[in-house]
Copies of this chain bind each other. A is one copy, B any other.
Amino acid sequence: MASRLFAGVDIGGTKISVVIANEEGNVLGRGRRKSRPERGFSAVMERTSETVDEACADAGVPRTDLAAVGIGAPSPILPDGTAVSAVNMGWENVPLAQTLSQLLGLPTFAENDCNVGTFGEYALGTPRRRGTLVGLFMGTGLGGGMVLEGAILRGDNALAGEIGHMTVVPDGRPCVCGKRGCLEAYASKTGLAYEFKQAILLERKQSILPSLIDEAGLDNVKSSILRRAWDEKDEVTRVALKRAARYLGIAAGNLITLLAPTTVVLGGGVMEALGDELLPLVRDAAQEHAFPPASYRAASIELASLGDDAVALGAMAYARAQLA
């Protein structure tokens, strides 16, 4: 029997990415469009459907050959595929899986993007996983997910896994969520922006960053620019990234203490660009904060292996698991 084919869909505030993959997770075709959420939910669904067709064409397979479609989107998502609340998309309680299923005429399953990103590492990552896997994704924000013995930990109303908003410093820095001292306020591009502004604008420290950044300014420095500034030994950049890695490691240590996972996977744009430099720092801080020491020794802290395709491939693997 030939391997079944799946579509994995990554819907974000900026773009829709689709992969067509076989059962083993090998990518056979791709599609990509801007998501344009300001045009409304129905329009995004239409564009998503078109992007799936584009990816099918790229793979050279008819859409009807797909066994199922998986979607990852930035929202808590209920088991019936309803996206509860996606601020970036302007969605409130929209029937995400159901709508795309009707447009495509295919079984369609939806899950939170960080959850499927974590699930993909569990199901497709190298090495294959067992036990508990925790995913930490450091990009613009800090996303996370947990997979326990193959099952995504969803919690009540699918609200679990807001790792970026766990408090790491009581009464600490303000966070975009309105609280203070959240992990995301330290270990994300938002946290880095805080450090950069403090160092460059307030403390007037020398840095090559202002000469490298684009119109987004210090608020959202591209990961490739972070890498370049690190490589050029820019002290402001290095201090900020080291501090972000330390807080990420404290959080990883806390999650090891709580969950005794087999694996903690570090992904997201910042880790994609700087993982080789930051991984040892995250491990050191995790070791310092994990308890008992045996839990740290048993837990492997690794860089994610699915890269930019993490959400789309994770969504594909999630759809595969729903059919199994």
**Among A43-51, A254-262, A310-318, which stretch is in contact with chain B?**
A254-262
A79 touches B (CB below 8 Å): no
A90 touches B (CB below 8 Å): no
**Could you say which residues of chain B place their CB within 8 Å of the CB of A250?**
167, 170
Please tell me which one of the listed residues B156, B166, B294 contacts residue A261 in the complex, with CB atoms under 8 A apart. B156
Residue of B nearest to A184 (CB): B291
**Could you say which residues of chain B place their CB within 8 Å of the CB of A262?**
156
A37 touches B (CB below 8 Å): no
**Could you say which residues of chain B place their CB within 8 Å of the CB of A153?**
148, 259
**Highest count of chain B CB atoms <10 Å: which of A132, A254, A255, A288:** A254
Question: When the two chains form their complex, are residues B148 and A132 in contact, meaning their CB atoms are under 8 A apart?
Answer: no
Interface string of A276-300 (1 = CB under 8 A from B): 0000000000001101101100110
Q: How far apart sit A299 and B159, CA to CA, in the bound complex (Å)?
A: 11
**Highest count of chain B CB atoms <10 Å: which of A162, A253, A262:** A162
Question: When the two chains form their complex, are residues B165 and A291 in contact, meaning their CB atoms are under 8 A apart?
Answer: yes
Question: When the two chains form their complex, are residues B260 and A295 in contact, meaning their CB atoms are under 8 A apart?
Answer: no
- Name the interface residues of A105-148: CB closer than 8 Å to any CB of B: 131-132, 146, 148
Question: When the two chains form their complex, are residues A159 and B294 in contact, meaning their CB atoms are under 8 A apart?
Answer: yes
Please tell me which one of the listed residues B148, B155, B162 contacts residue A291 in the complex, with CB atoms under 8 A apart. B162
**Could you say which residues of chain B place their CB within 8 Å of the CB of A166?**
254, 257-258
Please tell me which one of the listed residues B154, B156, B179, B260 contacts residue A156 in the complex, with CB atoms under 8 A apart. B260
Q: How far apart sit A245 and B255, CA to CA, in the bound complex (Å)?
A: 22
A169 touches B (CB below 8 Å): yes
Question: When the two chains form their complex, are residues A292 and B260 in contact, meaning their CB atoms are under 8 A apart?
Answer: no
**Could you say which residues of chain B place their CB within 8 Å of the CB of A259?**
153, 155, 160
Please tell me which one of the listed residues B157, B159, B257 contacts residue A162 in the complex, with CB atoms under 8 A apart. B257
Question: When the two chains form their complex, are residues A132 and B159 in contact, meaning their CB atoms are under 8 A apart?
Answer: no
**Could you say which residues of chain B place their CB within 8 Å of the CB of A182?**
291
A168 touches B (CB below 8 Å): yes
Q: How far apart sit A295 and B158, CA to CA, in the bound complex (Å)?
A: 9
From residue A195, how far is it (CB to closest CB) to chain B in Å?
16
Question: When the two chains form their complex, are residues A258 and B160 in contact, meaning their CB atoms are under 8 A apart?
Answer: yes
A177 touches B (CB below 8 Å): yes
Please tell me which one of the listed residues B155, B168, B291, B298 contacts residue A260 in the complex, with CB atoms under 8 A apart. B155
A161 touches B (CB below 8 Å): yes
From residue A4, how far is it (CB to closest CB) to chain B in Å?
29
Question: When the two chains form their complex, are residues B155 and A261 in contact, meaning their CB atoms are under 8 A apart?
Answer: yes
Q: How far apart sit A298 and B156, CA to CA, in the bound complex (Å)?
A: 7
A187 touches B (CB below 8 Å): no
- Name the interface residues of A206-254: CB closer than 8 Å to any CB of B: 247, 250, 253-254
5 nearest interchain CB pairs? A155-B260, A165-B291, A160-B260, A159-B260, A159-B295
